[in-house]
Amino acid sequence: MSRRDRDAEGRARNARPRDGLGRPLPYGSDGVERQPEGIARTPAQTLAEAQQLLDDGKPFHAHEVFEDAWKTTDGPGRELWRGLAQLAVGLTHAARGNNVGAVSLLERGAANIEPFRREAPHGVDVTGLQEWARTLAEDAKQHVRVSPSVPRLTR
């Protein structure tokens, strides 16, 4: 039986290196540095860091940045970060060629940011992101190998 990788607190963590799309690589391979977890950022810092990761072709890593914001936000704004994390994971699935996963997460993420459409916080382009996500989801539904474009998070 193999031993599981554990962090300093004893929680299970997979220490295998990952590629830019978050796929595990064999132990000992050169991978992409992982995003540190549990980082407190302002909304502006979250959006800027996530945008840079998306621009660099690392949507899996961008989702981790959004996940930090989601986990540390209380109240109704929490769903915005959850929806953005889901869009980043949907983009990850699309880039990996997993159209079923892409459709599911893109549609879920677009729906979860809907309540912010009229009064978008932090300059987030909710309408533009929803249009982008729904277009990408429709392409994926047609079983087309999509070459996902990188969305702009803010107006």
- CA dist 106 and 93 (Å) reads 9
pTM for the model: 0.87
Say how far apart CA 110 and CA 18 lie, in whole Å: 27
Q: Phi/psi of residue 124, each to 5°? A: -65, 130
Q: Are 53 and 61 in contact (CB under 8 A)?
A: yes
Per-residue pLDDT of the chain (155 residues; tens, 9 = 90+): 456 666 677 665 667 888 888 888 888 888 888 878 888 999 999 999 999 999 999 999 999 999 999 999 999 899 999 999 999 999 999 999 899 999 999 999 999 999 999 999 999 999 999 999 999 999 999 876 666 788 999 99
- Give, in order, the Cα–Cα distances in Å from 49 to each of 57, 62, 67, 147: 13, 7, 12, 22
Cα–Cα distance for residue pair 126/129, rounded to 1 Å: 5
Dist. CA 27–CA 18, nearest whole Å: 9
Count CB atoms within 10 A of the CB of residue 87.
30
